[in-house]
Amino acid sequence: MRAYDLVELAARNLRESGLRNSLTTLGIGVGVASLVAFLSLGIGLQEWANRQLGRSGLFDSVVVTSRQFRSPRFGGGNDSSPATPPKPLDDAARKSFAQMQEVVDVYSNFSAVGELRMAGTAPEDSHFTVVGGLPESARGSEAFDDVQGKFFSSAEAHEVVLMADFARTLLNLPEKELAAENKLTSDEANQLLGKEIIFRYPERQAQDVPPPPPPANGDPQSDSVPGVNIVRKVQTLKIVGIVNAEPYRGMRNGRTSAFLPIAFAESLNMMQPIDISSIMRPGQGKTYPALIVRVAKSKDVSHVEDEIKKQGFNTFSIMDASKNLTRFFRVLDTFLLVFGSLALAVAFLGIVNTLVMAILERRREIGIMKALGASDGDVKRIFFFEAGTMGMVGGSLGVALGWTIGRIINTLTNFYLQRQEMRTENFWVVPLWLVLFSLGFSVFVSLFAGLYPASRAARLDPVQALRHD
Amino acid sequence: MAPGRSNIKRKAIEEYHLEANGTEAVRTVSLVRYYKLGRSVIPAVDGVSIAANRGGFVALLGASGSGKSTLLNLIAGLDRPDSGAIVVEGQNLATLTSAELAQYRRHTVGMVFQSFNLVPKMTLYENVELPMRFAEVRRRERKERVREALERVGLSDRMKHRPSEMSGGEQQRAALARALVNRPKILLADEPTGNLDSKTGTEIMDLITELNKTLEMTVIMVTHERSLAERYADKLVFLGDGKLLGETENSKKRTGELVR
């Protein structure tokens, strides 16, 4: 039988019992829709999670700390090779990290204490607070999604980004219970943006003091030679932005109130808690409490981590946690696939039922066709084609329906998120492969469902089928 | 397949070749077809050997249950014998595969039934076109062939009608057109007038006779009306309880002008 005859005969049969076939097709559609809806939710959530984590910088950075600060009993003991002695986390180390091929940026986890007050206010209005440094890559972090104002114009700019709660303090507004409610109105923000703020901070001035000769018998009685001098300095900064959440920069430092561009902050040579080590160990020079090594591709993170460990430092990255996350989503997707497939399994039975009913109904017709020269294969193909068509149409319907359901739920979710003044997100992703997979799966399941009815129809004895009623 | 059965088949074919004289369109040799009813086995056709000459008109006569319809279904390739041979145009149907048998039904035989067996949801045109779909006749050719067949049975103006909109006689004519459309050599008719009144029945029989004459189709017709058989057939085959009771050349066959 020629293809167009097959199509015509099958189409005629499908039209003939239109209601029953439509309902069966609708059943397939609902099955596929549930599959598409579940899987697109799974995929969407996974992509959303990866996006969030990726933007946070968690997945492409390694935090490096010195082993000098670790007691061998409490940490670093298991992963550090005893052969490499603890090394100071200084500029030499920083340079060696930056030279690694996979590394795009190395910056310090800069944090210092200083005083801030608006220009033109009395010194009594100063606020004693913690100031952090932000690398250029923080520009893409989620904290800057709803920034009021903008990011720093350059890494050396004399500019500052304020945390919203501190901005409230500057404006003498009450601080809210929930961090999310601290966001300023645009009028309030405009009172600060572009204004100047005065920053007073302690500058660390290294002394060229040679390390004292080691005493013959243990610790010297008195070691009054200071390793550093500390001098008070002042800078005038311009407020360029206000953020509501603290951007990720390797480690959370608690309540940092303001951020400076990292290169500018480092150039100020501010006194930091870590400088105590310089006082204790004069001659060691400037060290960092922690360095954040940013890697171009997150797959290289563990390699970079190993290399840095070999140099004698402690490292931390979230890659291990991310592996578990990927596994979690794989399990979630499997569950969603199974639940989605359950509806399709019901649809499968629907197809079998419809086609078996069609055989009973078309018994005589099948007999006639065979008497006129239809082969078993012809009869089988007609039924198969009917099943496949229902699968194809049902599949298309299902994809459309699943997509629509996803859209609606996504819209409702975002409506809720907007009411909560949160950023809208896309939790439902229907990639092309999912569309093709669903269609293919639907046709496959339908053909599989048609297997038994088709072969039963083909086996039908024409003499029996044509016997007078 | 049991070895005994294939031996019988081979023997039957040898027998056929011995007897074959080149003018036979159909020959059955020791044909046996059983039906199982519960534990008992009923021989519907029990060792029947008959022959139909090319262009001949054979009537299979017998009471109901005599096995005449089963014999016709075996010749039509709708059923398979348990033993024996059916040789049609040199092919032994008993040895054909199911696909080859379908091919045979498509091209070699055309069938009409007592209950017409038109597909109710198809128009007359579509019903007549249906066998050509299985025979993979080109579309361009189909229209011409349908028209030709319908002209021959006098239904050219009813093409768009469905079987339910036509009288019994018209339906049987449509069935004849459908049986003709693939240009088979043999027409098999199972009680073609059984559901028709006598006037319409005569019309149909005249039409079948005309096909027998003008297209030189071999006709094998099952009937229980001896008078009908004597009027149209040139050979009468009598069956009873699945066995061949006898066959006679029909001398009483009506001659002269066909009545429309």
Q: pLDDT tens digit string along A156-185? A: 889 999 888 888 888 888 877 776 677 888
- Quick one: pLDDT band at residue A292, thresholds 50, 70, 90? confident
To test the contact with chain A by mutation, choose from B35, B130, B176, B224 the residue with the greatest count of A C-beta atoms within 10 A, namely B130
pLDDT surpasses 70 at A319: no
Q: What ipTM was reported for this prediction?
A: 0.88
- Residue A11 contacts B, CB cutoff 8 Å: no
Asked if A373's CB is within 8 angstroms of B134's CB, the reply is yes
What band does A294 get if pLDDT is binned at 50, 70 and 90?
confident
Is residue B158 a contact partner of residue B166, using CB atoms and an 8 Å limit?
Answer: yes
Would an 8 Å CB–CB cutoff place A361 in contact with chain B?
no
pLDDT of residue B256: 46
Return mean pLDDT, chain A. 81
How confident is the model over B134-176, as pLDDT tens digits? 999 999 999 999 999 999 999 999 999 999 999 999 999 999 9
For chain A, give the percent of residues with pLDDT over 70.
Answer: 84
Shortest CB distance from B111 goes to which of A12, A364, A371? Answer: A371
DSSP for A229-297 reads EEEEEEEEEEEEEEESSPPPSSS--S-EEEEEEHHHHHHTTB--TTHHHHHHSTTS--B-S-EEEEESS
Q: Average pLDDT, stretch B70-87?
A: 94
**CA Rg, chain B, in Å?**
18
**Cα–Cα distance, A235 to A151 (Å, whole number):** 19
The shortest CB-CB distance from A377 to any of B78, B99, B135 is to: B99
Q: Work out the average pLDDT over B178-205.
A: 93
B114 to A374: CB separation less than 8 angstroms, yes or no: no
Least confident of A10-19, A101-110, A271-280, B11-20: B11-20
Calculate mean pLDDT across residues A87-97. Answer: 83
Name the percent of chain A lying above pLDDT 90.
Answer: 17
Q: Which residues contact B174 (CB under 8 A, 6 or more apart)?
A: B116, B118, B124, B127, B128, B150, B153, B155, B158, B163, B166
Tell which wins on pLDDT, B181 or A165.
Answer: B181
pLDDT of the residue at B88: 92
* C-beta of residue A290 within 8 angstroms of C-beta of residue A98: no
For residue B260, the cross-strand partners are none
| pTM value > 0.80 | no
Give chain A's domains with CATH numbers.
3-54+324-466 (no CATH), 60-109+288-317 (3.30.70), 111-265+275-285 (no CATH)
* pLDDT at residue number B147: 94
| A287 — pLDDT class (breaks 50, 70, 90) | confident
Could you read off the pLDDT of B36-55 as tens digits, one per residue? 888 888 889 999 999 999 99
Q: Decide if pLDDT at A122 tops 90.
A: no
Q: Are B127 and B174 in contact (CB under 8 A)?
A: yes
Beta strands at B83-88 and B57-61: parallel, antiparallel or unpaired = unpaired
User: What pLDDT was estimated at residue A208?
Assistant: 57
User: Which chain B residues touch A375 with a CB distance below 8 Å?
Assistant: 98-99, 102-103, 134
